[in-house]
Amino acid sequence: MKLSAYVPEELWERVQARFPGSRPSQVAQIALRRLVERSRPRFAPAPAREDEPELLRRRARVAERRQRAYDEGYETGLALSAGLDWSDLERLAAAGWTVDGADAADAAQHESLAHRAGRRDALRDVWLAVLQAAQPPVP
């Protein structure tokens, strides 16, 4: 295929400075190849239909593990909130519910996003419950 394209003079000068002697056609082909290669999806292609039951089983297992980690994180957050003062909860709220200093033995589990989300949600729920309880009822 033959086509023509406009290239700003400043851009072409930069190309020539970096790659002396390169021809326009060669530069365009290399640039287009790189553009296509970098735009490929960075995930696995869709599985074949015969693999679908196995894929569903794996997804269910991963979803179950994520839910278990979230639930454990929620329990951790509730236990943590029991030992905090109100000022501690306010500081955590201001810090986006980031809890520093997790137990090193449980650090790997506590570093999962699901566990941290559960812990964050528990702390936030306790904080919100206290705030709502302090609100006078609306007549």
Measuring CA to CA, which residue among 30, 31, 32, 59 is closest to residue 47?
59
pLDDT (0 to 100) of residue 108: 60
Its pTM stands at 0.56
47 falls in which pLDDT band (50, 70, 90)?
A: low
Q: pLDDT tens-digit profile of 121-139?
A: 999 898 888 888 776 766 6
7, two tokens: 């290239």
> Over the chain, what is the mean pLDDT?
81
With a cut of 60, say whether residue 109 has pLDDT above it: no
Q: What is the CA radius of gyration of the chain?
A: 28
